[in-house]
Chain A
Amino acid sequence: MVKKVIEKFEVEYLQVLDENGKVDEKLMPDLSKKQIKELYELMILMRTFDDKAFSLQRQGRIGTYIQFKGQEASQLGTAYALTDKDWMFPMYRSGGALIVRKHPMHMLLQYDGGDMWGLRTEKINNFPIAIPVGTQTPHAVGCAWASKLKNEKVVSLVYTGEGGTSRGDFHDALNFAGVNKVPCVIVVENNQYAISVPRKKQTAAETFAQKAIAYGIKGIQVDGNDIFAVYKAAKEAVDYARKGNGPTLIENVTYRLGDHSTSDDAKKYRSDKEVQEWMKKGPIIRFEKYMRANKLLDDKYKKEVAKKAKEKVEKEIKIYENLKNPDVEDMMKYTYEEMTDNLKEQFEELKNNIQ
C-alpha cells in the first residue's frame, strides 16, 4: 500500500497598485503615460455614466438599472486587454466593460429603457448581455473553440459574478475549455455578494481562482480594484490564449458599492461600515493617488476629465431620449431568419388589434 502526496498546487495573487497609490515597479505592466491617462478617463466616464443612469432610473426615465459602481477597474482592465476582433460575453453587470468596448452609452440606456435594439452592437464582437446567471460562460468557450478551429488568432473573454460560479454552466465552461485548450479568458468578478448572499455562502473554497486547478487550466486571483493588476493579468491571459496555450480563469476581488439592482436595498444585508471600508479601497481613489504622485494628474486635469465625462454622458442621454420607439413588428421579426406562416398570421392579427 502506498499513501503519498501526488500533486501540490499554488494559487497566485496579484496586486500592483496598493490602496495608498503605491506601485510595485517590478510588476508594473507595459503602459505608456498616454494609455494610463486613457484608462483614467475611461474609468471616470464609467463612474459618471453609472451614477447618472442610477438617477435616471430614480426619475423614471429608464427601467431597472444594474450598477457596476466599484467594479470599474475590474471591467476596464479586462476589456482594455482585448482587440476589437476579440469576442466579449458580458453579463448584466458588465455595462462598464461595454462602454470600454465602444457600445454606445445611449444604447445601454435604450435597453434599460425597454428596447431590445439597445443590445445590438455593430462591428465589434460584443455578445448581448446574459440575464441568467453563469450561462454565458460556456458560450465564450464554444466561441473560442470556433476561433481555434478556424485558425484565427482571436480570443473570447467572458464575465461572470462569483454567484455564477455555483452554476453547472460555469463548470462545464472550465471543463470544456480545458479539454479543448481553447483561447478563452474567464473573468470572475467576485464582488462579495450575489444579491444578498455573501461570498462565503457560495463556496467553501478559499478562492474562486483555485477552481481552475481542478480543470487543469491556469487560474489567478487579482486585486480587482487595482487597474494595473487587472490589466496585467488580463493582458497576459489574452496573449497566452492568442498564442494557443489555452484558457485562464481570473478572479477579480472587488466590491459592489451599489445595490444589486435598482429594485434592491443592500442596507438590509450589509453594514454601512463595511461599505465605507471598501469605498476606501475603491479603484478610482488609489488610481488618482498614483497619478498625482507621478505627475499625471493635477486638480485642473481632474476637473477637465470630470467635465468631459459629464458632457459625454449628457449628450448620450439626449440621444437616448430622442430615440424613436421600436417598430411593433420587431418583436416577431427576429424570431427566425424568416417569419413562419404562423407568425405572419399572428402579425396580421396584431396589426388589426392595434389599429
Chain B
Amino acid sequence: MPKMNIVEAVRAALRNELKKDKRVMVMGEDVGKNGGVFRCTDGLYNEFGSERLIDTPLSEPGIVSTAIGLAVNGMRPVAEIQFSGFIYGAFDQLVSHAAKIRSRSRGRYSCPLVVRAPFGGGIRALELHCESVETFFAHVPGLKVVIPSHPYDAKGLLISAIRDPDPVIFLEPMRVYRAIKEDVPDKEYTVPIGKAEIEQEGSDLTVISYGAMLKYTKEALEKSDYSIEIIDVRTISPLDTETIIKSVEKTGRCVIVNEAPKTCGFAAEIIARINEKAFFNLEAPIERVTGYDCAFPLAKLENYYLPDEKRILKAVNKVMSQ
C-alpha cells in the first residue's frame, strides 16, 4: 500500500472522482498548469485537460458564485480557495446562496459544491494566510464543514464530500499537509461525513481536537501518564455528538483543543453539547485550549499563539486534579 501525505491524498481523491464522474471539475487560482500552490492538483491538468482543471480569473467570489451555478445545473465543481483567509469575499455567496438553494427551492434545486481551502497557522506564512474559519461556516445551516487531519481521511472524506448532495466546506490542515505520511489505499473508498473518530482509546480523560492541532495534541499527550481518549472530530458540521458524549460519559473529564480564537471557537459548541447531554457525568469543569482573541500573528509570534505542548498538558493536569 502506498504511503501518502495529505497533499497526495487530496490529489488521489480528486483523480479518483475526475476519472469516475465526468461531471466533476476542479476550478480555482493556479490549479491547472501550475498544479496548485500546494501541489494538490499537480499533474491533473495534463491528465484531464483544461475543461476539467480550470484556471479561473483571480476572484474568490467569482469562483464560488459561478461554481454555484455549475452545481445547480448538474456539474460537480470542486472549487479551490488558495488560502482560507481569502474565502471571506465569497462568504455572501456561500451563506446567502449555496447554503439555501435547496431550502429556497423546496427541494427542486440543490448545490452539490465542494469548496476546498488550506487553513490554520504554523507555517510562518504571510498575513491572512493562516485563518481558522471553520466556525463561521459551522454556524450556517445548509453547509457541511469537514476537516481531515490524516492522509487516509483526507482521501476518503474528500471523495465523500464530492459525492455529497449538499455544499461542503473542506478545510485542509496546511501545517500538516506534508508532515504525516501513512498508508493510503490506491483503491477507492469513502470516509463518512458526520462521523468522529476515536484516535486513541483511554479511560481517564477525553481530549477532543481536529485538523493540524490533532497531531500536536497527540504528541503532547504522549508526555502524560494518564489514560487519555483522543477524539478527532473530522466533521465540524454536522457534528457527531454521540461519539463525544459516549466518551465523556466514560471518562467524566474533557479538554478541547482548537487553534481558532477562543470566543465562539468550535470548542464552545462542543462544551455546550456536553453540558446539555452529559453534565452530570462530569467530574471536573471542561477546559479548552485555543488561539487567543487577537489577530493571528506573523511568524515571530505565531508559536506563542498556537496551542502547544505546555498549554495542552497544563489543561490536562488542571482537569485531572479536580
Which residues of A approach B to under 8 Å, CB–CB? Answer: 87, 116-117, 119-122, 127-128, 130-132, 135-136, 138-147, 149-150, 156, 168-169, 172-173, 175-176, 179, 330, 334-337, 340-343
Q: Is B2 an interface residue (CB 8 A)?
A: no
Known contacts A142-B68, A142-B72: A116-B103 contact under CB 8 Å? yes
Does B56 belong to the interface (CB within 8 Å)?
yes
Cα distance, A341 to B237, chains bound together (Å):
11
In the complex, what distance in Å separates the CA atom of A237 from the CA atom of B238? 44
Q: What residues of chain A lie closer than 8 Å to B194, measured between beta carbons? A: 340-341
* Contact between chains at B65 and A336 (CB < 8 Å): no
B106→A120 contact, CB < 8 A: yes
Q: How far is the CB of A92 from chain B (nearest CB, A)?
A: 12
Decide yes or no whether B224 CB sits under 8 A from chain A. Answer: no
Q: Which single member of A150, A156, A334 contacts B107 (CB below 8 Å)?
A: A334
Q: Which residues of A contact B104 (CB under 8 A)?
A: 116, 119, 128
Given the known A-B contacts A172-B59, A334-B103, are A143 and B65 also in contact in the complex, defined by CB atoms under 8 Å? no
Question: A119: which B residues are within 8 A, CB to CB?
Answer: 104-106
* A141, A169, A334, A340: the one within 8 Å of B238 (CB): A340
Assess the B69–A140 pair: CB atoms within 8 A. Answer: yes
Q: List 5 A-B contacts (CB under 8 A).
A: A119-B106, A135-B93, A146-B69, A147-B73, A176-B56
Residue of A nearest to B194 (CB): A340
Instruction: Tell me the nearest residue of chain B to A136, going by C-beta.
Output: B97
Contacts of B87 in A (CB 8 A): none
Bitwise, B227-243 to A at CB < 8 A (1) or not (0) is: 00000000000110110
Quick check: A145 and B70 within 8 Å, CB to CB?
yes
Of residues 183 through 215 on chain B, the ones whose CB sits less than 8 Å from some CB of chain A are: 194
Q: Which of the residues B67, B72, B142 comes within 8 Å of A336, measured between beta carbons?
A: B142
A150 / chain B contacts, CB cutoff of 8 Å: 73-74
Residues of A within 8 A of B69 (CB): 138-146, 156
Q: CB-nearest residue of chain B relative to A146?
A: B73
Q: Are A330 and B59 touching (Cβ within 8 A)? A: no
Known: A172-B59, A334-B107, A337-B166. A142 touches B141 (CB 8 A): no
Asked if B101 is at the interface of the complex by the 8 Å CB criterion, the answer is yes
Contacts of A169 in B (CB 8 A): 61, 65, 93
A-contact bits for B51-91, CB 8 A (1 contact / 0 none):
10000110101100111111111110100000000000100
Question: Knowing A127-B72, A142-B65, A149-B51 touch, does A330 contact B97 (C-beta < 8 A)?
Answer: no
**Chain A's interface: helix, strand, loop or mixed, by majority?**
helix
Q: Is the CB of B75 within 8 A of A175?
A: no
Is B110 in contact with chain A by the CB < 8 A criterion? yes
A334 adjacent to B165 (CB under 8 Å): no
Range of interface residues on chain B? 35 or more
Q: With both chains docked as a complex, state the minimum distance between the C-beta of A246 and any C-beta of chain B, in angstroms.
A: 15
State whether A342 and B102 are in contact (beta carbons under 8 Å apart), knowing that A139-B65, A141-B66 are contacts in the complex: no
A120/B68 contact (C-beta < 8 A), A175-B59, A335-B141 known? no
- Name the one of B67, B92, B105 contacting A128, with C-beta atoms under 8 angstroms: B105
B105 touches A120 (CB 8 A): yes
| Distance of A131 Cα from B242 Cα, bound (Å) | 37
B9 at the interface (CB under 8 A from A): no
4 closest Cβ pairs, A-B complex: A142-B69, A172-B62, A138-B65, A146-B73
Assuming the contacts A141-B66, A175-B57, asked whether A330 and B106 have C-beta atoms less than 8 A apart, the reply is yes
Residues in A whose Cβ lies below 8 Å from that of B256: none
Contact B97 A139 (CB under 8 A): yes
Bound complex: CA A135 to CA B64 (Å):
11
Q: How far is the CA of A57 from the CA of B165 in the complex (A)?
A: 38
Question: Is B51 in contact with A342, judged by CB distance below 8 angstroms?
Answer: no
- CB-based contact A143/B105 at 8 Å: no
Does B161 reach chain A (CB closer than 8 Å)?
no
Q: Within residues 1 to 20 of chain B, which ones have a CB less than 8 A from any CB in chain A?
A: none
| B142 cross-chain contacts in A, Cβ below 8 A | 335-336
Contacts of B57 in A (CB 8 A): 172, 175-176, 179
Question: B150-184 toward A: CB 8 Å interface, digit per residue (1/0)?
Answer: 00000000000000011000000000000000000
In chain B between 226 and 280, which residues have their CB closer than 8 angstroms to a CB of chain A? 238-239, 241-242
Q: Report how far A341 CA is from B89 CA in the complex, Å.
A: 31
CB pair B92 A142 closer than 8 Å: no
A168→B64 CA distance, assembly (Å): 13
B321 within 8 A of A: no
Q: Is B109 an interface residue (CB 8 A)?
A: yes
Complex: A142 Cα to B238 Cα, angstroms: 28
Shortest Cβ gap from A56 to chain B (Å): 22
Interfacial chain B residues near A156, Cβ < 8 Å? 69
- Whether the pair A142, B66 counts as a contact (CB closer than 8 A) is yes
CA distance A1 to B198 in the complex (A): 70
Q: How far is the CA of A120 from the CA of B89 in the complex (A)?
A: 29
Indicate if B25 sits at the interface (CB-CB under 8 A): yes
Contacts of B103 in A (CB 8 A): 116, 334-335
Bound-complex Cα distance A340 to B193 (A): 11
> Is B322 located at the chain interface by the 8 A CB criterion?
no
> Using Cβ atoms and an 8 Å threshold, which residues of chain B touch A147?
73
Q: Considering residues B56, B108, B165, B194, which has the most beta carbons from chain A within 10 angstroms of its beta carbon?
A: B108
B199 to chain A, nearest CB (A): 21
B98 nearest in chain A by CB position: A139
CB neighbours (8 Å) of A131 from chain B are: 96
Collect the chain B residues with CB atoms within 8 Å of residue A138's CB: 61-62, 65-66, 68-69, 93
Apart from the given pairs A341-B238, A342-B241, 13 other A-B contacts in the complex at a CB distance below 8 Å: A138-B66, A139-B68, A139-B97, A142-B77, A146-B69, A168-B89, A172-B66, A175-B59, A179-B56, A337-B110, A337-B166, A340-B238, A341-B241
Chain B residue at minimal CB-CB distance from A137: B65
In the complex, the answer to whether A139 meets B72 with C-beta atoms within 8 Å is yes
Q: How far is the CB of A150 from chain B (nearest CB, A)?
A: 7
B246 to chain A minimum Cβ distance, whole angstroms, is 14
The complex places the Cα of A332 from the Cα of B239 at a distance, in Å, of 17
Cα distance A173–B96 in the bound complex, in angstroms: 17
Q: For residue A145, which residue of chain B has the nearest CB?
A: B70
How far is A175 from B93 in the complex, measured between Cα atoms in Å? Answer: 17
